[in-house]
Amino acid sequence: MAYLFCTPDEQQQMLQRIGVDSLQTLIDEIPSELQLHRQLDLPPALTELELEHHLRELASNNFGGSARSCFMGGGAYDHYIPSVVDEVTSRGEFYTAYTPYQAEASQGTLQAFFEFQSMIAELTGLDVANSSLYEGGSGVAEATLMAMRCNDRTGSVVCLGSTNPEYVATLKTYLTNKATKLEVVPASSGICEVAALEKVVDDQTACIIVQQPNFFGCLEDIEAIRKLADQYGALLIVSFDPLSLGILKRPGDLGADIAVAEGQSIGTPLQFGGPYLGLLACRQQYVRKMPGRLIGQTVDRNGKRCFFLNLQAREQHIRRAGAMSNICTNQGLIALRATVYLSLLGPQGLKEVAELSCRKAHYAADRLKLIDGCELPFEQPFFKEFVLKYRHGAEVAIRRAAAANIDIGPALNHFPGLDWLSQEDREQSVLIAVTESRTKAEIDRLVNALAAN
């Protein structure tokens, strides 16, 4: 079957309409060195039955997060999700990832987003939150551009090297066509020393970006970094783990001006990379520089509580020069999942999940570092995730764990941008994340798998 479904006559009519005599004439506009000059290397066509068998065979190579014991980290985590989350969000009136552009027509949609914003603002300890961004990486980038708008600085952006390398790569893409210099400060000890930051922060620095807990699972000295930001008038952006706030200080309490996060851990399962959820909150004075949507609450002409789109700073609603971002929607369904999840946990449940994850992670670390050939290269406090250095190599550790039906990783050499670590450290180190879902038996099974000769 041809890829183009129009007939030769229909093709000819279209060519005549645009004033060319053949498809080749159109293709000739592409430089010859960029053309393929051969047929595509495609397999032969399959019947419907053959195609279904082929796709099922490919799908069988995938394992969902619940099919094996998952100790994988690096930004997506296997936390337990109460069945009520699926029950509520799978209702017909909710079950769409699409957010209506005319959301004013749906008070239910607006109220859900308003409740989501209220929870995120309370969770972060900041004044206001928007109704979500796409995911954690673009959240960091959008927060950076927001900071540049807030203090009208474009000289430099300082990012701790302990920030998720994928977030840093996203930020580099956002800044590609800007004159702003991105300074990534190495974190060789697992955290970034304030003395190293002092060498690159100046009165033209728009913001300092720090992740807490950081990519290696370690806890940064946020309060010291806050003092440095204040000294030079830079804004502080904190990328946080939502569930860590059950036991750690909130970004707002640490002095963050803007807080962002990947919200997958609060109600969304591991699903091969998304869709996920970006969180963003800030101080009140910066609200008009915030990207995305902000839902407000008011009363109608009858005095009844109602909701409306308060701010939506995108090109389709305001003049292009005043647009805060080209983000034109929000993650409606995923934000709803987070809202239901947080409402179920409440403050006490959030604390219990955080404590269980922390205690189990430390039990796992204490057991693993007793294995001959294993060590924890970073001697820093951590929450639920840590780096394990395995003498036989990270890939060997991943294979041995997989043989025991356990997934660990990713290995540090999977990520670009960590060149300030030695090649040995990158090749031998792997991330281990332990959530409340993991049992003592699973942890002990992982220890036995890596202890085997």
Note the pLDDT of residue 217: 97
Sheet with 156-160, strands from edge to edge, namely 128-129, 278-282, 258-262, 235-240, 205-212, 156-160, 181-185
Q: Where in the chain is the domain with CATH 3.90.1150.10?
A: 69-79+346-451
Residue 179 DSSP code? S
Mean pLDDT across the chain, nearest whole number?
92
Q: Where in the chain is the domain with CATH 3.40.640.10?
A: 83-341
Asked if the model's pLDDT at residue 1 lies above 80, the reply is: no
- Per DSSP (E only), the strands in 172-289 are 181-185, 205-212, 235-240, 258-262, 278-282
Instruction: Please say whether the beta carbons of 142 and 191 come within 8 A.
Output: no
Asked if the model's pLDDT at residue 313 lies above 90, the reply is: no
CATH class of 83-341: alpha beta
Size (the chain), residues: 453
Q: Which of 80-89, 101-110, 332-341, 366-375 is least confident? A: 101-110
Instruction: Please say whether the beta carbons of 417 and 165 come within 8 A.
Output: yes
Amino acid, single-letter form, for residue 421 = L
3.60.20.10, 3.30.420.40, 3.90.1150.10, 1.20.80.10: CATH of 69-79+346-451: 3.90.1150.10
pLDDT in tens, 262-273: 999 999 999 888
Nearest Cα to Cα of residue 115 among 316, 307, 275: 307
Can you tell me the mean pLDDT for 50-78?
A: 90
Kindly list the distances between the CA atom of residue 447 and the CA atoms of 10, 79, 326, 366, in Å, as whole numbers in the listed order.
Answer: 66, 21, 47, 10
Per the listing, tokens 């031998």 go with 428
One DSSP character per residue, 405-428 reads: TEEEE-BGGGSTT-TTS-HHHHHH
> Which of helix, strand or coil describes residue 371?
coil
Asked if the model's pLDDT at residue 70 lies above 60, the reply is: yes
